[in-house]
Amino acid sequence: MSQKLKNKVAVITGGNSGIGLGAAKLFAQEGAKVVITGRDAETINSAVTEIGNGAMGYVSDVSDMSSFVLLFKEIHATLGKIDVLIVNAGIMLTAPIAEMTEEIFDKVTNINYKGAFFTIKHAVPYLNEGASIVITTSTVSDKAFVEGSAYVASKAAKRALVRVLAAELAPQKIRVNALAPGFIDTPLLTKSGFTQAYKIRWVTFLQVR
């Protein structure tokens, strides 16, 4: 690796599995000081070992607004200001609109959108000038994903947030971008209750749209 990120501080929410873990490994290989967050201590510890290169992990629930203040204070005290913030933590729950409950809607929104919003709000004071924020959205925000009304809306909201924050944080030379992956079979889908047959049906549906 080129070590082009040597000594840069990179914080990745939801970095204990899937896309976040893959990003954390790559950043560490490029020399960054990597910090991952997640809700489960066991998977965080396992991921930190897998990432290696001095990676650190914190238990933090993005749906708990009070957790952010302490999180970023601790990271700053340990590593200094942040150069890269990857806002990746998310959840995928789906249901037909007729069966959508307020509980499901709130859980999806609180983690995928509200959690992302307040992650950034509380991180900004600890970002270096010229830092980069990357928000994981999804290609589904531009597609009619049946039974995905709350999930798709949460991803579309994040894309709108990217546009606003890119303009708002430009005076601080902080870049804000969206990363919109397509279908990636990560542990998140299994945790969300998706069977292999459903995954295949979902992929086929998205490909024809």
Find the CATH number of the domain harbouring 91: 3.40.50.720
Rounded to 5 degrees, what angle do the CA atoms 56, 57, 61 make?
155
How many structural domains is the chain composed of?
Answer: 1
Q: Is 31 domain-assigned?
A: yes
Given 58, 113, 126, 151, which residue is catalytic? Answer: 151
Structure tokens of 180?
């919109």
Q: What's the rounded Cα separation, in Å, for the pair 25 and 130?
A: 23
Q: Is 3 domain-assigned?
A: no
pLDDT for residue 208: 45
Domain of residue 87, residue span: 9-207
The type of residue at 123 is A
Q: What's the rounded Cα separation, in Å, for the pair 139 and 151?
A: 12
113 is known as an active-site residue: no
Instruction: List the chain pLDDT tens, one digit each, 209 residues.
Output: 789 999 999 999 999 999 999 999 999 999 999 999 999 999 999 999 999 999 999 999 999 988 888 999 999 999 999 999 999 999 989 899 999 999 999 999 999 999 999 999 999 999 999 999 999 999 888 877 788 999 999 999 999 999 999 999 999 999 999 998 876 655 555 555 555 555 445 544 444 44
pLDDT for residue 185: 59
Q: Is 201 domain-assigned?
A: yes
Q: Is 118 domain-assigned?
A: yes
Tokens 């409950």 — which residue? 101
pLDDT for residue 130: 96
Rounded to 5 degrees, what angle do the CA atoms 148, 151, 152 make?
75
What one-character-per-residue DSSP string does the chain give? ---TTTT-EEEEETTTSHHHHHHHHHHHHTT-EEEEEES-HHHHHHHHHHH-TT-EEEE--TT-THHHHHHHHHHHHHH-SEEEEEE---------GGG--HHHHHHHHIIIIIHHHHHHHHHGGGEEEEEEEEEE--GGGGS--TT-HHHHHHHHHHHHHHHHHHHHSGGGT-EEEEE-------HHHHHTT--HHHHHHHHHHHHT-
Q: Is 114 domain-assigned?
A: yes
Q: Is 1 domain-assigned?
A: no
pLDDT for residue 122: 96
Q: Is 2 domain-assigned?
A: no
